[in-house]
Chains A and B, each alone.
Chain A
Amino acid sequence: MNDDRFDVIGRVTRRQDGHAMVTGRQLYSSDISLPNMLQARVLRSPYPHARIAAIDTSEAERLGAVCITPEDVPRVKYNERQVSVPAKTYRDRTVLPDKVRHVGQGVVAVAARTEALADRALDALDVEFESLPAVFDPHEAMRDGAPQLHDAVLLGETVLPIERNIACYREAVEGDVARGLEEADLVVENEFTTGRAYHGQLESKAVVCRPEADGGITVWATAQSIHNTRQLLGSLFDIPLSKINVQRVPIGGSFGSSIQMNSSVAVCVALALKAQKSVKLVLTREEDMYDHCKYPSNIHLTYGVKRDGTLTAGYLKTVVDIGGHNIQAYPLLGCMAGWFVSLYRLPHLKFEGTAVYTNKAPACAMQGYGNPQVTFAVESMMDTIAEELDIDPIDVRLKNYVGLGETFWGQGPTVRSVIRSCGVEEMLLKGKAMVGWEGRGSSTSKTGRFRRGIGVGRGFHTSGTGAPTPGEVIDYSTAMVKINEDGSVDCLTALMCHGGGTLDAGAKMVAEELGVPLDRVGISPSNTRSTGYDVCTHATRGVYCGGASLLRAAQDVKKILFDFASRIIDVNPDALKVRPDTSRGQGVVCLPGAPAKRITVAEVAKTAQIKGWGSIIAVVSHRQVNCPPCFVVNFVEVEVDTATGQIRPMRAVAAVDAGTVINPDLAAGQLEGGLCRGIGLALLEDTTYKPDTGELTCGGYLTDYKVYTAQDMPSLEDLSTFFADTYEPSGPFGAKGVGEAANNATAGAVANAIYNAVGIRLTEAPITPERVLSALTRDAEQLQQGR
């Protein structure tokens, strides 16, 4: 796919950081080693809920270890997620706790010369726990008399008492849902659940901290926001930000797992400050699994619909089991409302969300931030409505989807904007033809042990969290672009790449704007001392928001370039253009139609330096005032083994409306990866707990947790991707995001495919063989009893 409007945008190019990754030269946090560095380990609670009665570190210290206990660390209550405005940030944790609220929570940390010595020191610690009754089910946790995890937390600076373990509640109402349901010809309702999936990023979280001679610190951490990490460390440890340098380090997969400053970062810093030596802390896989998981969902969903398929009302009620700490479930609930109301037009709507503490690992954002959970329920219901009204499921979607020109508030009630680009219809119709929708047959026509079915799911994600008015979420990026004296370009930003090619896309935008060959545009290493603020690379905002800041800086730089060039070649700067000259490997500033009026970018920059005009450089802080939806459509074909309940994904078509696609191969890669994780959410992934001990059933093992392997995915021939042909007016070069959208529609498509195969609506994800078998058995019994 080559777009004639552009030189590099939309063309398949090799990612700039790829060479380092295929040769083993890419350095991640766990690869950082410093002279005289100590290795840290953390003693973790074996209890799901316990008071810490006594800690004795004397034996560990006798072995030469540096130890920190809750007594040694700041008592400041904080929230590790720092993307909301302070007044809307719930704070319930400290660097080390005086009471543990889930198995695996860190209590005491040690640092020693070697990992083996640190392990011995860990064994030598003596911690006395007073076990407390624990609660693992959110509904039980809300009952009177249930064990209380928190008495009070802080909301902003206000003390907020916690009752019945309810961390927060959120409601959204428009119109009158009761009236809307009365006006309906058909009312459908059902209950849906999704699991506490584990991020499963291949790099377990790591951090290195070096105390500096000036009392400051330098930190290399697995993090999606170096600036938020710095600000939080500054407030926790009372160090001026000018003395805290957080380095941007490549991340070994994220999926939201490091939007927050991970708990191990503050622990490592506390150890390093006490030891006055560099300290490294790398989580084991088991520790990582006890650190975070995806927000699970329990959704009760009701729709009212007219006979012709027009929705009259929607009512979604959800309870979210957030685990032992609140990593900002309040914006999560706002987004869940947003995902719900922005999928399909609802004249009357209601959303109620309750986030509840339980004695499990804290849940946090994971690809979609509540979106795959809500969309699983909504897309399942669209098929139920279609079935009940005998309308094609695609037509129900086409009739009701929120599209071009309509108001949308994906990121919650305070983030509203109008949709200005939309490829929903194109994707549904093209995908329908590609997958052979018309030939899929009905479930009643399918017999035999192995039954195949095709399902559709659609969805979207927002490109960032920008809005015309300031809301609850902070969203802006800062970028610096500078043209070097040889005509090459440096781009400096705190934006991250999690693997999807965000920074590569930024380099392409700058190359396109400045007319400089792509291989002469570099992304500079960055840290908090040399960059302006960037909120975080999350919310599918990298290309749309971060890219836009780079583009704006490039536009400013271009003005200076033309101003300097005009002085040299005596042409009005407004008449100048800049184009890449591949034969010279240079950008060339020129006056179209006047061959004599040409000068290379390098000559302009060098002349400006020699004559003392200054550097060609610009810094821009940029906030997008929109967060346009990147729409997705998935068609999935599954095969159900009715004897074992096993489900295999056989074939899929995945499409995204990402506006202008910057790098087609990398964008398609996002769709393929998102599909794989989406199928995992639908069929495989959950972290369950042993009710007697509060330990993970999988024991922290990936093989017992289970993620898909290369053998489980559809073959190359059976997996297709494509892009809608759209242009987003507010996006850099017309681009929107892809990221999270890629997995939002998948679980719904899978559930609908299962229905098409066996005629049973499965609503509990993961849809495991056990759940399939029990549903098949129930169905057969009901058939025998004549329903």
Chain B
Amino acid sequence: MMTKRRVTLTVNGEHVEPLVEANALLVNVLREELQLTGTKYCCGTGQCGGCTVLVNGEPILSCLTLAVAVDGADILTIEGVAKPDGSLDPIQEAFLDHGAVQCGFCTPGMILMAKDLLAHDPSPSEERIREHLRGNLCRCTGYHRIVKAIGSCGQ
């Protein structure tokens, strides 16, 4: 049996100290230990972006990241995007207003990528949005309304 280690994380503003195995992936710790199932397991090999979360403000693929490697980090998952009072982030509102959600499975990853983009570039061009989303697959929408929704959030 592998030795477990305690890691210290701030997840969606909450301090947590899960006990994890050395080879535990962040996606599994989030989904199974912390019951934050909004982060999706889609390919498990870093090819689709569905498991994207923000670690210290930067997007990472949680299916390729060891939980012990992000010890001490501040993590934002889809569950932490809305405000604590439950009101939605403008990106979430835009996804609903533009019909950018179909099956919803890629949506958490897409919204976190959009948050990252808008944090660095508050008014991104369409080309910039498409370039930023190139690692996030969506099989339902053809991306059209996702790009539109993110573009509408530009200042």
- Chain A interface (Cβ < 8 Å from any Cβ of B): 12, 14-15, 17-28, 30-31, 33, 116, 199-204, 250-255, 282, 284-285, 498-501, 663, 665-666, 668-669, 672-677, 701-703, 707-711, 713, 715-716, 719
Contacts and interface: CB of A to CB of B under 8 A. Distances in A.
B96 A202 contact: no
Q: Identify the 10 closest CB pairs spanning chains A and B, nearest first.
A: A24-B38, A21-B104, A676-B142, A252-B105, A499-B102, A499-B103, A24-B78, A665-B99, A31-B37, A202-B105
Given A22-B111, A716-B144, A669 B99 contact: yes
Contacts of B131: 711
Contacts of A33: 32, 35
A24 B39 contact: yes
B42 A669 contact: no
B129 A710 contact: yes
A23 B103 contact: no
Contacts of B130: 709-711, 713
A603 to B, nearest CB: 31
A713 B143 contact: yes
26 contacts: A14-B96, A22-B104, A24-B39, A24-B77, A27-B37, A28-B40, A201-B103, A201-B139, A203-B103, A253-B102, A285-B44, A499-B102, A499-B104, A663-B99, A665-B98, A666-B102, A669-B102, A672-B141, A677-B139, A677-B142, A710-B143, A711-B134, A713-B143, A716-B126, A716-B147, A719-B144
Interface string B77-109: 111011000001000100111110111111110
Interface stretch (B3-11, B45-53, B67-75): B45-53
Given A15-B96, A701-B45, A710-B143, A21 B101 contact: yes
A23 B79 contact: yes
B148 A252 contact: no
B40 A252 contact: yes
B139 A669 contact: no
B137 interface: yes
Contact of A19 (B36, B96, B126, B142): B96
A25 B40 CA distance: 11
A28 B41 contact: no
Nearest to A703: B47
B38 A710 contact: no
A228 to B, nearest CB: 20
Nearest to B108: A24
Contacts of B42: 202-204, 252, 285
Contacts of A498: 103
B36 A202 contact: no
B139 A23 contact: no
Contacts of B39: 24
B43 A18 contact: no
Interface string B123-155: 000100111011111111111111110010000
A602 B95 CA distance: 33
A663 B139 CA distance: 20
A18 B107 CA distance: 10
Contacts of B77: 24
Given A24-B38, A24-B78, A669 B105 contact: no
Contacts of A715: 126
B78 A23 contact: yes
Contact of A202 (B40, B78, B129, B151): B40
Contacts of A12: 99
Contact of B79 (A24, A199, A254): A24
Given A23-B82, A500-B102, A18 B96 contact: yes
Contacts of A28: 40, 105
Given A22-B101, A677-B139, A716-B151, A284 B37 contact: no
A707 B126 contact: no
Interface residues of B, number: 59
B38 A702 contact: no
Contacts of B145: 665, 669, 672
Contacts of B151: 716
Given A23-B88, A24-B108, A716-B126, 14 more contacts: A22-B96, A23-B92, A25-B38, A25-B79, A26-B104, A28-B40, A202-B50, A202-B139, A252-B105, A253-B140, A499-B102, A669-B140, A710-B146, A716-B148
A24 B37 contact: yes
A713 B37 contact: no
A668 B147 CA distance: 14
Contacts of A202: 40, 42, 48, 50, 103, 105-106, 137-139
Nearest to A675: B142
Of the candidates B21, B104, B146, B147, the one having the most CB atoms from chain A within 10 angstroms of its own CB is B104
B105 A710 contact: no
Interface in B7-60: 21, 31-32, 35-45, 47-48, 50
Given A202-B137, A676-B142, A30 B104 contact: no
B103 A710 contact: no
A265 B82 CA distance: 35
A24 B11 CA distance: 14
Contact of A24 (B36, B45, B96): B36
A26 to B, nearest CB: 5
A669 B141 contact: yes
A319 B52 CA distance: 42
A33 B30 CA distance: 13
Contacts of B79: 23-25
Contacts of B95: 18, 22
B32 to A, nearest CB: 7
A22 B43 contact: no
B101 A18 contact: yes
Contacts of B43: 204, 285, 701-702
A665 B107 CA distance: 17
A80 B96 CA distance: 36
A205 to B, nearest CB: 12
B17 to A, nearest CB: 20
Contacts of B106: 202
Contacts of A21: 101, 104, 107
A203 B105 contact: yes
A251 B44 contact: no
A707 B136 CA distance: 11
A15 B97 CA distance: 9
Nearest to B37: A31
A707 B36 CA distance: 28
B37 to A, nearest CB: 4
Contact of A710 (B81, B96, B108, B134): B134
B39 to A, nearest CB: 7
B44 A284 contact: yes
A644 to B, nearest CB: 20
Contacts of B104: 17-18, 20-22, 26, 250, 252, 499
Contacts of A14: 96-97
Contacts of B136: 709-710
A716 B147 CA distance: 8
Of the candidates A255, A500, A701, A702, the one having the most CB atoms from chain B within 10 angstroms of its own CB is A702
Given A31-B37, A202-B48, A709 B134 contact: yes
Contacts of A201: 103, 105, 139
A253 B139 contact: yes
Nearest to B148: A716
A484 B102 CA distance: 29
B137 A709 contact: yes
B41 A710 contact: no
Contact of B142 (A500, A501, A713): A713
Contacts of B140: 253, 499, 669, 673
A666 B129 CA distance: 22
Of the candidates A14, A19, A202, A719, the one having the most CB atoms from chain B within 10 angstroms of its own CB is A202
Contacts of A501: 102
B148 to A, nearest CB: 6
Given A21-B104, A666-B99, A710-B147, A673 B141 contact: yes
A22 B113 CA distance: 13
B108 A282 contact: no
B101 to A, nearest CB: 5
